[in-house]
Amino acid sequence: MAAIIIPFQQSLRPALPSIEGNVDYRKFRDELARIDQILLGGPEEKFVLAATQRWLSQGQVPPEQVSARQLEIYQTHSRQALRCNIARTYLQESYRDFAAHLADSPLLQRFCLYDQIDVIKVPAKSTLQRYADWVEHKEIQETIHGLLGQAAHQPHLLQLEQAVDLETCFLDTTCLEANIHYPVDWVLLRDATRTLTKAVDLIRQQGLLHRMEEPALFRKRMNQLCIQMTHTPKKTDGKKHRKKLLGKMNKLVSTVANHAQRYRQLLDQEWEKTQWTRPQAEQVLKRLDNVLEQLPAARQQARQRIIQEEPVANEEKILSLYETSVRVVVRHKAGAEVEFGNTLLLGESSQGLIMHWELFEESAPADVRLVRGALDQTEQNLQIEIKAAGADRGFDSASIQKWLEEKQIYNGICPRDPHQLKERLRSWKFVKLQRRRSQTEGRISIIIHNFLDSPIRSKGFTHRQLAVDWAVLTHNLWVLARLPQAAAEAGKAAA
C-alpha cells in the first residue's frame, strides 16, 4: 500500500508579538520564516511521505487497517519532528534546554506548529529525543537530495531568484570527535571499576545482596591508584612504579569483575524480587555485560603497552568501553596529531551547500580513494553532471587525474608534484578553484562547531550519523534562506 498525505489543516494561530529594538531577534525571526517558506515548497511533504512509508512498512498493524485519523496523527507528529529537529540543531540546544525554550517562545511555537489559540502543548525532552530518531538515515538523505534537486532544477518552488550551482564540488575530510576522554590504557580499568560497582550499587538497593565490601570502597581504592599513576612520570624510576601500580589495578579490577559477575547472575535469576520490570532489569544486565565482555581485552591491552612495552595496532585498540565504533584518526596537524572519532567526508558546492556527506564507521580509506565514489554518488543522487572538482593534495594521484580526464571533469585538485603545481598555477581557472577550495575548511568548521557542537554528544554510531544528517539538512536550509528570493516573494515578505 502506497502512503498518502493527509492534508494538513492548521488551526487558528495567534499573531506573533511585535518585538522592536533587537536586530538579532529580527534576523532570527526572518530566517525561521524563510526556512518555513522553503519547507512548504516541497521538502516537508517529501519528508512526511518517506516517514509514513517507513512507518507503514514496519508497523505491527497491516497498512490497510490504519485509519485516516491514525495517519493524520502520525503525519502531524512527523511535521513537528522535522521542524523541532531543525530548530534544535539550528540553536544547538540540548533536549531539556530546547523543551524549555520552545515552551517560552511564541516564535519557536509557530515554526514547530505548536501555536494554538487556546492551549499550547509542547513536547517534553523525552519526546524531542524520540523525534531525533523519528526516521532513519535514508529518509533524511532523500529529503536533503530532494531539497537540493529542487534548488537546482525547480528554484521557483522554493521562491529562489535563480537556480543554485551544483556543477562544482569541493571535497575535504575531517574527524567528527566522539565525547570520550583521552584513551589512556589504565584509565579504562578505572572506567570498568566505576561502571561495574555503580551497577552493583543499583542491584543492592533493590534488596539483592551477596557477600562483598561496599562498592564505594573499590572505587575509592581505584581512584587512589589512579592518582599515584599520574605522579609516576615525576619519579626517577617511573616505569617501575607504573608497572607495579598497574599490577595492583589489575588485581583490584579482577576482584570487582568477580563480584559483578555474581551480582549479574543474581539479578538475572531473581529479578522478580525487585521493584524493576524485566526490561528495566535488562538495562542493568546490558550495562554489566558491556564492560565484562571487554574487560579481558582491556586488561591485556594495558599489560602489553605498560608492562611488556609493546605497541598495539590501531584497529585492535579499545579506545572506550562505551563507544565501540570510535576510531583513531591520524591527522598530522598542529595540536591534533591524532584524533578519536569517525572520519567525515564532505562535498560542498560553490555556494556553500553540502552536496555529499559520508560518516565512516570503520577506519576510512585514504582521501585519494574517496574521490570517485563521492563524485559518482553525488551525480546519481542529485541527477546532475559535475563539471569541476576541487580538493587539497591529499586527494591527488595519477589514477584520479586520468579518471577525471576520462569523465571530462575539470581537475581542480591540488597536485602533489611541485613541478606540476607550478605549471598548473598558470591557469586562471585552477587558481580560482584553489582559492575557493580553501574556504571549504571554513565550511567544515561551521558544520562541526555551529551545527554539531563537537565533540558530538550523541552516543553510538547510528545516533551520530543521524546527528550529522540533521546538521546537513539544517545547514542547507540556512544557506538557502540567505540566498536572494524571487522578486515577487521578496516584496510580499517586506510587506
| 3-54 residue pLDDT tens | 677 766 666 677 788 888 889 999 999 999 999 999 998 899 999 999 999 9
Same structural domain, 274 and 410: no
Whether 342 maps to a domain, the answer reads yes
Same structural domain, 210 and 174: no
pTM, full prediction: 0.91
What are the pLDDT digits (tens) for 229-269?
A: 999 988 888 889 999 999 999 999 999 999 999 999 999 99
Whether 270 maps to a domain, the answer reads yes
SS3 call for 473: helix
- Under the phi-then-psi rule, with left for phi > 0, alpha for psi from -120 to 50, and beta for the rest, what region is 408? left
pLDDT interval class at 156 (50, 70, 90): very high
Same structural domain, 305 and 194: yes
CB 485, CB 376: distance < 8 Å: no
What average pLDDT does range 298-311 have in this prediction?
Answer: 92
Other Cβ atoms less than 10 A from the Cβ of 455: the count is 15
Same structural domain, 358 and 431: yes
List all residues 6 or more positions away from 175 whose beta carbon is below 8 Å from its beta carbon.
329, 331, 336, 339, 340, 341, 342, 343, 344
pLDDT at 457: 85
List all residues 6 or more positions away from 309 whose beta carbon is below 8 Å from its beta carbon.
none
* Dmax (CA) of the chain: 80
Whether 234 maps to a domain, the answer reads yes
CATH number at residue 459: 3.30.420.10
Residue in 462, 473, 353 with CA at minimum distance from that of residue 90: 473
Cα–Cα distance measured from residue 428 to residue 205, given in angstroms and rounded to the nearest whole number: 73
Res. 353: pLDDT tops 90: yes
CB 328, CB 342: distance < 8 Å: no
Whether 475 maps to a domain, the answer reads yes
Same structural domain, 287 and 354: no
Same structural domain, 127 and 210: no
Beta strands in 152-285 (DSSP E): 168-177
pLDDT interval class at 117 (50, 70, 90): confident
Same structural domain, 216 and 360: no
> How many domains, in total, are found in the chain?
3
Cα–Cα distance measured from residue 327 to residue 152, given in angstroms and rounded to the nearest whole number: 36
Same structural domain, 268 and 254: yes
Whether 72 maps to a domain, the answer reads yes
Same structural domain, 99 and 169: no
Whether 68 maps to a domain, the answer reads yes
The share of the chain scoring above pLDDT 90, in percent, equals 74
DSSP letter for 454, please. S
What range defines the domain where residue 350 resides? 162-179+324-481
pLDDT at 217: 96
Res. 469: pLDDT tops 60: yes
pLDDT at 172: 95
Last residue of a domain, one of 273, 292, 316: 316
Same structural domain, 392 and 286: no
List all residues 6 or more positions away from 150 whose beta carbon is below 8 Å from its beta carbon.
41, 42, 43, 157, 158
Rg of the chain over CA atoms, in angstroms? 27
Res. 489: pLDDT tops 70: no
Cα–Cα distance measured from residue 410 to residue 428, given in angstroms and rounded to the nearest whole number: 13
Whether 146 maps to a domain, the answer reads no
Output the nine-digit C-alpha cell for 163: 537556480
Cα–Cα distance measured from residue 473 to residue 147, given in angstroms and rounded to the nearest whole number: 9
pLDDT at 270: 94
Last residue of a domain, one of 316, 336, 355: 316
Same structural domain, 341 and 209: no
- Under the phi-then-psi rule, with left for phi > 0, alpha for psi from -120 to 50, and beta for the rest, what region is 335? left
pLDDT at 9: 62
What average pLDDT does range 78-102 have in this prediction?
Answer: 96
Cis peptide before 279 (omega within 30 of 0): no
Buried b (16+ CB within 10 A) or exposed e, 50-59: bbbebbbeee
List all residues 6 or more positions away from 262 whose beta carbon is below 8 Å from its beta carbon.
210
Other Cβ atoms less than 10 A from the Cβ of 383: the count is 12
What are the pLDDT digits (tens) for 180-194?
A: 888 888 999 999 999
Res. 61: pLDDT tops 80: no
Whether 493 maps to a domain, the answer reads no
Same structural domain, 310 and 340: no
What phi and psi, each to the nearest 5 degrees, are found at residue 160?
Answer: -90, 145
- Between 152-161, 231-240, 242-251, 482-491, the lowest mean confidence (pLDDT) is in 482-491
Last residue of a domain, one of 316, 338, 360: 316
The alpha carbon dihedral of 203, 205, 211, 215 has a sign of: positive
